[in-house]
């Protein structure tokens, strides 16, 4: 089987996505031909050419790492802006000078000026240089940047990625301490930064696309419209659970998660959304049969079963995924099914992966694999959950059918199981 990139794209990107991936090769003809053509001496290769190519590759890698440092540090400055409401202040009060901004945002004046200048240097905010003095510069947030930094349900709201970086950085000392031992790093070590960052990053998709996703299972959508019951496993701080309740106002929804802090925040979010009368949250491990039975009793589904179980970007984090899938199967109605969304990655490992899979592997090393290992080392899959693995787990749990759904998404692949 050839290693092909499987991320959904459109147009030219779709054509590129079916091409053979680039893999590392030793210094051979093609690369040296480029040097020959530049030298005007095609076909003549010398040790000096190979040395020059090797030096160029070394320099490119060094420049790449420096660029990565710039990107990472800029993300953390964005996280400062999110935590202190600095982008909102700019939107509501700008154009504004640095001294006035410091007062309005209630932050240290010198930090305020440096942050504003850095954000302007990065192109995230605008600046008007009205005079020769720094204090006279006026800063503002371009209207088109508001959705990215501020509007929490806008599809372009990508600023929460900064919280993910802050979370993995927070737990980095624990990871380094454990790296020789492999006992894992508990999810709570990553703090509110990561759980809120994950929730905020996925919230726009849940808000705007949940109904359409479930409608890819027409019989299940009809069941929910008729007052069915959903189990939302791995619900985090509740945005997927709330979106299900909003999209299907006749349905009852139970959110389940292993993290106590996430469940507490989910309950607060549900009350704020006004769906608390149809939504409940259960703390526990999805691989525990007693926990699942308790969840079914919570929704009065113990006798009839769940019409639908949803698992959004959480199956790869389960330390006992086959037990969890088998437990879900046991609690489904006869015509029930699972809707699973997990990472859209290639079916097989290959070097030179596309940017999304590279990012997912990095998150796996820093977060998903250590956190799953801390829960259980029975199956520690990591972030990169490939379609053949999903099929294998589903079969081991007793399911006879797994269908990949026709849902376009750059990051997730959607499955109907059962």
The tens digit of pLDDT for each residue in 168-181 reads 999 999 999 999 99
What is the average pLDDT across 234-248?
98
pLDDT beyond 60 at 19: no
- Secondary structure (DSSP) of 317-329: G-SSHHHHHHHHH
Report the CATH number at residue 277. 3.40.50.150
Mean per-residue pLDDT over the chain, rounded:
89
pLDDT tens digit sequence for 362-402: 999 999 999 999 998 789 999 999 999 999 999 999 999 99
| H/E stretch holding 412 | strand 412-417
Does residue 12 lie within any of the structural domains?
Answer: no
The verdict on 145 and 233 lying in the same domain is no
The verdict on 90 and 202 lying in the same domain is no
The verdict on 167 and 141 lying in the same domain is no
Does residue 37 lie within any of the structural domains?
Answer: no
SS3 128: strand
Both structure tokens of 317: 């984090």
Does residue 46 lie within any of the structural domains?
Answer: no
The verdict on 358 and 384 lying in the same domain is yes
The verdict on 244 and 337 lying in the same domain is yes
pLDDT beyond 70 at 9: no
The verdict on 293 and 205 lying in the same domain is yes
Find all residues with CB under 8 Å of 56, minimum gap 6, and list them. none
The verdict on 193 and 88 lying in the same domain is no
Does residue 31 lie within any of the structural domains?
Answer: no
pLDDT tens digit sequence for 243-293: 999 999 999 999 999 999 999 999 999 999 999 999 999 999 999 999 999
Does residue 175 lie within any of the structural domains?
Answer: yes
Q: In which residue are the tokens 């040097």 written?
A: 35
pLDDT beyond 90 at 299: no
pLDDT tens digit sequence for 254-265: 999 999 999 999
Does residue 62 lie within any of the structural domains?
Answer: no
Domain range for 184 is: 161-417
Find all residues with CB under 8 Å of 45, minimum gap 6, and list them. 32, 35, 36
The verdict on 206 and 123 lying in the same domain is no
The verdict on 354 and 228 lying in the same domain is yes
CA distance 233 to 28: 50
- Bigger pLDDT: 150 or 50? 150
What is the average pLDDT across 117-134?
88
User: Tell me, what's the pLDDT at 38?
Assistant: 45
User: Tell me, what's the pLDDT at 408?
Assistant: 94
The verdict on 209 and 287 lying in the same domain is yes
pLDDT tens digit sequence for 375-384: 987 899 999 9
The verdict on 105 and 198 lying in the same domain is no
What is the average pLDDT across 30-45?
47
Q: CA-CA-CA-CA torsion for 272, 274, 277, 279, nearest 10 degrees?
A: -70
Report the CATH number at residue 101. 1.10.10.10
What is the average pLDDT across 197-216?
97
The verdict on 105 and 219 lying in the same domain is no
């Amino acid at each position: 089987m050839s290693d092909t990139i499987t991320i959904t794209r459109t147009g030219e990107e779709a054509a590129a996505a079916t091409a053979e991936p680039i893999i590392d090769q030793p210094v051979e003809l093609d690369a040296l031909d480029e040097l020959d053509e530049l030298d005007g001496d095609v076909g003549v290769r010398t040790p000096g050419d190979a040395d020059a190519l090797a030096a160029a590759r070394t320099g490119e890698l060094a420049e790449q790492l420096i660029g990565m440092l710039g990107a990472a540090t800029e993300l953390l400055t964005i996280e400062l802006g999110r935590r202190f409401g600095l982008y909102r202040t700019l939107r509501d009060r700008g154009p504004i000078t640095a001294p006035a901004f410091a007062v309005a945002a209630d932050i240290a004046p010198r930090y305020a000026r440096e942050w504003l200048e850095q954000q302007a240097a990065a192109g995230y905010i605008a600046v008007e240089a009205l005079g020769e003095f720094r204090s006279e510069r006026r800063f503002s947030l371009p209207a088109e940047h508001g959705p990215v930094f501020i509007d929490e349900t806008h599809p372009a709201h990508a600023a929460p990625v900064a919280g993910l970086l802050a979370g993995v950085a927070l737990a980095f000392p624990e990871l380094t301490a454990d790296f020789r031992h492999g006992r894992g790093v508990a999810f709570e070590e990553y703090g509110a930064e990561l759980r809120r960052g994950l929730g905020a990053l996925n919230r726009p998709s849940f808000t705007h696309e949940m109904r359409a996703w479930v409608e890819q299972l027409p019989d299940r959508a009809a069941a929910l419209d008729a007052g069915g019951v959903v189990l939302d496993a791995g619900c985090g701080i509740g945005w997927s659970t709330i979106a299900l309740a909003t999209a299907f106002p006749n349905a009852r929804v139970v959110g389940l998660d292993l993290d106590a802090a996430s469940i507490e925040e989910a309950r607060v979010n549900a009350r704020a959304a006004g769906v608390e009368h149809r939504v409940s949250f259960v703390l526990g491990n999805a691989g525990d049969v007693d926990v699942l039975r308790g969840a079914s009793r919570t929704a009065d589904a113990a006798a009839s079963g769940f019409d639908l179980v949803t698992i959004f970007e959480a199956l790869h984090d389960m330390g006992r995924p086959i037990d969890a899938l088998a437990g879900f199967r046991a609690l489904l109605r006869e015509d029930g099914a699972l809707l699973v969304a997990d990472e859209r990655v290639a079916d097989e490992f290959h070097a030179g992966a596309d940017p999304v899979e590279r990012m997912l592997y990095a998150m796996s090393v820093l977060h998903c694999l250590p956190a799953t290992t801390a829960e259980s080392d029975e199956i520690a899959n990591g972030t990169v959950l490939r379609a053949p693995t999903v099929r294998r787990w589903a079969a081991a749990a007793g399911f006879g059918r797994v269908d990949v759904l026709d849902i376009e998404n750059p990051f997730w692949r959607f499955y109907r199981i059962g």
